[in-house]
Each structure stands twice: as C-alpha cells, then as structure tokens.
Amino acid sequence: MADPTTTPGWAQIGYLVAAVCFILALRGLAAPRTSRIGNLVGAAGAVLAVALTFAAVRPAHLLPILVAIALGAAVGAVAARRVVMTAMPQLVALFNGVGGASAALVALLELGGFADAGVGVRIAVAFTVLVGAVSFAGSLVTFGKLQDWVPGRPIVVPHTRLVYGGVLGATLAAAVTTVVLGSVVFGIVLAVLSLGVGVLLVLPVGGADVPIVVSLLNAFTGLSVAASGYLLGNALLLVAGTLVGAAGTLLTRLMAQAMGRSVTTILFGGLAGPSTQGATEESSRPVKSAGAGDIAVMLGYARRVVLIPGYGLAVAQAQHALRELAEALAARDVEVVYAIHPVAGRMPGHMNVLLAEADVPYDQLVEMADVNPEFRATDVALVVGANDVVNPSAREPFGSPIAGMPILNADEAKAVVFLKRSMRPGFAGIENPLLHDPKTTVLFGDAKESLTRLVAALRAV
C-alpha cells in the first residue's frame, strides 16, 4: 500500500481539486442544459488526477505505462466517436465492466506485493476482487444481451438454484480463505468464481430490466474502485469510487421505481418467479391504419399534440424529422410538447440526449409526472417508436411483466397515433392493447420515412 503521508502537499491539494471536479460533474449531469459542461469538468478532473499522480509518484516503468495509456485512449476515442446513440447502453456496460476488471487486477497485485498485509487489507482485497469480477462478467453479459449477441430473454440454466447456490457458496468460501491466508492463489480462485457469479446473476434477467442491471453493475464497479483506493492509499480513488457507487445505486433505484418493480425481483425473479420478458411474436389482431395524408389532417387541425418518442425513434435516427414535424405543427399554432418517460429508450436521459442532438428546445421536454395530467386535454398523442411506456397493461396488478410500471397516459388523449414498423411487441415482449383501441390509428413504416411523409403532407394541408 502507498502511504498517503508521502504524497506531497501540492499533490494532495490537486487531488482535492480533482475530487471537487467530479462532484461538480455529477451536479452538471443532472440536467440537460448543464450536462455537456458537467462532462467536460469531469474529464478535466480525471486528466488532472492522472497528471498529478505521474508528477508525485514518478513511476519506474514510465514508458510501458504511457504506451498502455495511449493504446487505451485510442481505443476509447474510436469507440466513443463511432458508437451510435442506440448502442450507448452497450458502450456504458462495456466500459463499466473494464473498470471492474481493472480494480480486481489491482487488488490481486497488491495482495501479491505485500505478503505480510494486515487483515484490513486482505478484506479490502477480497471485496474488490469479488465485486470487480462480478461487475466485469455481468457487464459482458448485459453487453451481449443489448447487442443481441446473447438472447434478450431470461436464460435459466438447468437446476439453477443448486448451481447458483453452489457457485455463490464456493465464492464466499474462497473470499474467507483469501482473507485468512492472504494467498494470491486463492485470490485468483476467488476471481474466477466471482466471474461465474456475475454470469449467473445476469443471465436470468431479460426484457426491459437489462438496462437497470447495467446501472446496478455500475454501482458495483464504483464500490470496487473505492476499495482499491483504500488499498493504494489514494483518497481520490476512494472519493471517485464512492461517488460512482452512490450515483449508480440511486439511479438503479430510480429506474426500478420507474419500472414499478424491485431490484430483488429484477435480479432473482428469473430464478424463482415469472419471466421478466413476454412473448415476441407479432400480434395478429386487426388494427386501424391510415396513410400520411389522413394523419396529417388530424394533426393539422388539432389544438394540442403530445409527441412520445421511444427506442424505435433512436433506431431510425428520426429525431431531426420529429423536430421538423413539431415545427410544422407550431407554424399552424398547434401546441406541441414532448412527453419523456424516465426509461424511454434504453437508459435514463436517452431521449433527452437524442432530442438535444436535433436542437429540440429543452422547455418542450416534459417529464411524465408533469405531462400525465394534461393528456385528457390533448387532441392527439403521437407515439413514435415507443410501446411499453404507453402500454395500459402496466396498470393491471398481475399477469403482465410490466405490471405496476408507471406509464404515460397516452390512452387518455382524444386520439392516438402510432408510428410503427411492424406489429412486433416492445422491448418487454408483450402486446399493447392500446394499438387495438378504436381511437388509435397506426401508420406503418420506418419512423424517419413516416415522419418525413407526415411533414410533407402537413405542409400541403
């Protein structure tokens, strides 16, 4: 372990400045208007922290470290620039898993470097290895599910309770042995078993619950980083890890509440309860469909229209076309707002960022709690690529994977229009009865193409 008393005073002051940057970054990321500057402040804090560490510690193997940093920066920069908005949750999951793996490896190296380490250090090592490895393996599985490399449905291995219980028991035994003996060999065994726990933990999760698990694993990574900060005697790592752990935990709770379920149900429901994902077949029930011209007339003569974007909007990259439709409606003195569900898309804030890319004014983005009372006074609710967040089945106490999830009350509008590519269900894999309501009209086609046709038809009305 490094001794914090050997860190120069100027470096400790610099670490304090970096920690304040991290706190200010979180504060900035809490609102769309300040999120960009918050991200830059956080990045500046990270650069400052790395530079101070090099200046204060002056590592012996400087060249290999610099090469590793350069390679990592190159991979990260290319990945971040090439990723599309629809794949952002996958990127978050992957980066999060790498962070957990790094913390676990650092802990194992610390254990190998200090044969006479005290019990406190060994406990921190075991905790870091266990949590970091679980986060790494679990994040890889969530990445696979979101990327469709692994089936999105819950996957339950045969005799799952016995297998899961056995692996978990062996992992805890390896953790205790690592603490008692301080053995690197048992530390490696602990890491391997923890990888198994991470896989078994996430495989039974499916449907719309996967992004919530991404957030939970992010909190795990934060805790493992905080523990590695204790091992290294680095107060900045301790602060940064604690911030990530606390933020991830709060975000997980908020997302779970937005889905109307508990974290325990999400993690273990697939082991001993109903599936978190329903069927995936297309519905064969008839729906009322119309062309762009008819729907343009409906929208053009409305007084108030609520636009409800979802993941399908992101997939079609139709945010700019949606903004053009809103502007065309506003030119006809139609009141237009965007209704934003907390978990619209795949992550909280997904829709906010997507619409910000299209320069949609922030004051037109209305959260669920504020917009729901206004649906009864809405002439048309236009649903673009969303399904689960407007599904009335969520109001049923039982029998639905999304039962209890708060939804946007689109069914209370005088008319509902769905823009859908097909009749396939949403991410949760269940049918939406609102599609078959007499006041609902469906415009089939790619969201971007449908919106473009609507804008042209509206201008011709």
**What residue segments make up the domains of the chain, in order of their start?**
4-272, 292-460
Which residues participate in catalysis according to the annotation?
Answer: 388
Could you please report the per-residue DSSP string of 355-419?
Answer: HHHTT--GGGEEEHHHHGGGGGG-SEEEEES--GGG-GGGGSSSSSTTTT-----GGGSSEEEEE
Model confidence at 273: pLDDT above 50: no
What pLDDT score does 397 carry? 66
Confidence of residue 113 (pLDDT cuts 50, 70, 90): low
Confidence of residue 129 (pLDDT cuts 50, 70, 90): very high
Q: How many CB atoms lie within 10 A of CB 344?
A: 29
Lookup: tokens for 48: 């400052």
Model confidence at 75: pLDDT above 80: yes
Asked which of 28-37, 68-77, 158-167, 315-324 is least confident by mean pLDDT, the reply is 28-37
Q: Which of 186, 178, 171 is nearest to 131 (CA)?
A: 171
- Please, what's the b/e burial string for 263-272 (b: 16 or more CB within 10 A of its CB; e: otherwise)? bebbbebbbe
What pLDDT score does 126 carry? 93
What pLDDT score does 118 carry? 78
Instruction: Indicate the SS3 state at residue 157.
Output: coil
Find how far residue 290's CA is from the centre of its chain.
Answer: 35
Tokens 């991200």, residue located: 39
Q: Which of 363, 404, 383, 221 is nearest to 305 (CA)?
A: 383
Asked which of 56-65, 150-159, 245-254 is least confident by mean pLDDT, the reply is 150-159
Degrees to nearest 5, angle at CA 30 with 27 and 34:
80
Instruction: Indicate the SS3 state at residue 309.
Output: strand
Q: Which of 419, 412, 418 is nearest to 304 (CA)?
A: 412
HEC secondary structure over 178-218 = HHHHCCHHHHHHHHHHHHHHHHHHHCCCCHHHHHHHHHHHH
Contact criterion met (CB below 8 Å) for 435 and 423: yes
What does pTM read for this prediction? 0.78
Measure Cα distances from 292 to 9, 296, 307, 434, 452 in Å: 68, 6, 16, 20, 9
Question: Dihedrals φ, ψ of 444, to 5°?
Answer: -85, 145
- Mean pLDDT (whole number) for 252-267: 76
Asked which of 76-85, 362-371, 438-447 is least confident by mean pLDDT, the reply is 76-85
Name the region of 207 (left: φ>0; alpha: ψ -120 to 50; beta: rest): left
Query: Cα torsion for 253, 258, 260, 264, to the nearest 10°?
Result: -20
Tokens 């610390």, residue located: 110
Measure Cα distances from 259 to 45, 209, 326, 396 in Å: 34, 8, 28, 13
User: What are the helix and strand counts (H, E) for the chain?
Assistant: 16, 6
What pLDDT score does 277 carry? 47
Asked which of 78-82, 173-177, 273-277, 388-392 is least confident by mean pLDDT, the reply is 273-277
Exposed/middle/buried for residue 262 (C-beta within 10 Å: 0-12, 13-18, 19+): middle
Could you please report the per-residue DSSP string of 413-424?
Answer: SSEEEEEESSS-
Q: Which of 53, 51, 22 is nearest to 39 (CA)?
A: 22
Q: What is the pLDDT of residues 377-387, one digit of tens each?
A: 999 999 998 88
* Higher-pLDDT residue of 402, 198: 198
Model confidence at 272: pLDDT above 60: no
What CATH number is given for 292-460 in this structure?
A: 3.40.50.1220
Q: Which of 73, 130, 99 is nearest to 237 (CA)?
A: 99
Confidence of residue 428 (pLDDT cuts 50, 70, 90): low
